[in-house]
Amino acid sequence: MTNLANLVKLADRDRAKRFEAEGVLHHIICRPVSGELLAHARRLVPDSEVSAPRPGDCYLVGVDGAGASLFHATWSEDASLLAFEGSAGIAAAQALRWAAREALFVRELPLLVQGPKWRACCVASLPSELAPQQLDGDSYGLALHLAAVSIATGVPLDTTVLALGSVVNGYVARVEGIAQKAAVIKAYAPSARLVVVASQQECEWKAVFDDSEIAVVGVDCVERAATYAFADVDWANVVQEAWATHEDVARALHSIYRHALSPKSPLLDWTALAITANALQSRLDRAEDLWRARFAESVAARHSGRTVSLPELGSDMLHSLPRPIRLQVLAHYVQDANDGVSKIRERIALAAPQVASPRERHAEDLVLVGALARGHAALREFGRAVDLCREAVAGWYELDELHNASHPLCEWLRLVGLQGNHGCLDEIRRDWLPLFRCEPRADESQAFIELALGRALVLTDDATAALNELALERSCWRNAPIHVLVSMHRWRANALDTIGDSHQAALARAAQRVEAERKDPDQYRVFVALAELDHALHHGETLDEALTKALAIPEIRERFRGLEEKNVATARAIVREYPY
């Protein structure tokens, strides 16, 4: 007889046991599936009172010493519930980021601008006197990743499926305490029919469930696990239901368009916005609404490393927009041209007259000035680009929004490095960097700024100062995005090669490759190609193979169109001018 059966049997004679049994039986995974036990359970808690699964809900199993507990996690801010702490909190945040990147679509975009809000209660423990006070550990990762997809799409998880694995970069990894976890599942989760685990532990899990009706399946990645957790879901129908009314469609369009326009949108990831904008287009009839959805898709795709062409911007459409929105839209159109190095002059000519005079500029003007600076830089008109960067930084300072000047400041540093302009670099280090370092609102930008400064110092032949700015122990790298860390290692390697420390340079390039592969080897292949070109140039090796590999990458080929001859000049232009 299972522990649940014992608890239900004792409930008739012991008020405390009855209270405990009722608490357990409210959870759908704990409901017996048939027989006398089910009938007894229904007398204690009728089927109508069983908690229905909601989007984002999931069941977790954790180990505590020699015992294990079954938890119910839900999207809630109820402080009386258990919080996810330590590595469990990290796993929850990673799960949201993964869902924001990989979900088929997102029903409600607010998910992408907030941190995790899961809380949990302990449903049952084995032994029963176990009383966990917190949730810690990375073994909840797989369940939380699936729960994140659930809350993103609004589709509840299949409550007969339990996910038991940690997650590393989207891949399912091993967990500990298999025997204890299996025991509590068999004791208190009679509705469970499938356990999804890491493929490398599939045999171990099957062995401990050999005496039960619970099936076990091993998976390598979260995507594969999702096919079991959402096995009966008709996703096309889900999308249709998400936008069933004109009001639903209008609200979704407003949300994605607003986030696409914002230069500082706090999205966890842009991929889902691009996917959602694309899916929404089939529900739109008006030309202006279609334009907004296609604009949002293109902007989001560019932010997530892909290319989707911006829709045509007609004169009527442009001038129908309020001036602040018009400037934001033009900034995106100029930036889009910069990324592809096409139509740049045409879009600069369209956008530049819209910018107000320096004393009349608002934030939207300054965003456009920064985009125009990058446009002139892409045309190698470095002098004009430097002037515009200086105007943008000074303008943000005048508005008391210096924290918003990090983009033009980083571009300014890149350009003075390319020019070898020691005087301008000294000006930035003397007049502007101290202000940024004292600006608390610019904390998130510090890693970008230090990277840009280190790069400029390398390009102006001050490798020793560059190594000081790019020192590994600097606190700004701790929470920096991976592409910034990859680039930091790249420029450290160049500085080390410059001072003749080839051994440490090789170690830095190895670290660069490791960081790149942590994220996505395909997305970061450009950094590997740059590292190989850097090495070949510093050590006088043949450039043919490294240049061929670099120019085969669309991001590099498009940016350096017209410099396709495989010679030293092309190699130097690529390694010096590439934004990172």
pLDDT tier at 498 (50, 70, 90 boundaries)? very high
Residue 327 in tokens: 């400037």
Question: Looking at the predicted structure, is the pLDDT value of residue 1 above 50?
Answer: no
The predicted-structure confidence for 430-467, as pLDDT tens digits, reads as follows 999 999 988 887 777 899 999 999 999 999 999 999 99
Contact 30, 191 (CB under 8 A): yes
The predicted-structure confidence for 452-462, as pLDDT tens digits, reads as follows 999 999 999 99
Predicted pLDDT of residue 265: 63
User: What are the angstrom distances between the C-alpha of 565 and each of 85, 341, 542, 544?
Assistant: 54, 18, 14, 10
* Number of Cβ within a 10 Å radius of residue 37: 18
Tell me what the mean pLDDT of segment 326-342 comes to. Answer: 83
Tell me what the mean pLDDT of segment 286-297 comes to. Answer: 94
Question: Looking at the predicted structure, is the pLDDT value of residue 267 above 80?
Answer: no
H-type alpha helices, 308-405: 315-320, 323-340, 344-351, 363-378, 382-398
Of 67-71, 77-81, 106-110, least confident by mean pLDDT is 106-110
Tell me what the mean pLDDT of segment 236-262 comes to. Answer: 84
Tell me what the mean pLDDT of segment 385-401 comes to. Answer: 96
- How high is the mean pLDDT of the chain? 87
pLDDT tier at 219 (50, 70, 90 boundaries)? very high
Spatial neighbors of 404 by CB under 8 A, at least 6 apart, are 263, 264, 363, 366, 396
pLDDT tier at 566 (50, 70, 90 boundaries)? confident
Q: Which residue has the higher pLDDT, 51 or 363?
A: 363
Domain ranges of the chain: 1-52, 53-233, 243-298
What is 53-233's CATH number, 1.20.120.450, 3.40.50.150, 1.20.1260.10, 3.30.230.10?
Answer: 3.30.230.10
pLDDT tier at 559 (50, 70, 90 boundaries)? confident
pLDDT tier at 33 (50, 70, 90 boundaries)? confident
Tell me what the mean pLDDT of segment 567-576 comes to. Answer: 88
Of 43-47, 91-95, 122-126, least confident by mean pLDDT is 43-47
Q: Is 121 exposed, middle or buried (0-12, 13-18, 19+ CB in 10 A)?
A: middle
Predicted pLDDT of residue 523: 59
Question: Looking at the predicted structure, is the pLDDT value of residue 126 above 80?
Answer: yes
Of 40-49, 271-280, 338-347, least confident by mean pLDDT is 338-347
Q: Could you give the count of Cα atoms lying within 13 Å of 492 in the half-sphere of its Cβ?
A: 24
Question: Looking at the predicted structure, is the pLDDT value of residue 522 above 60?
Answer: no
Contact 571, 565 (CB under 8 A): no
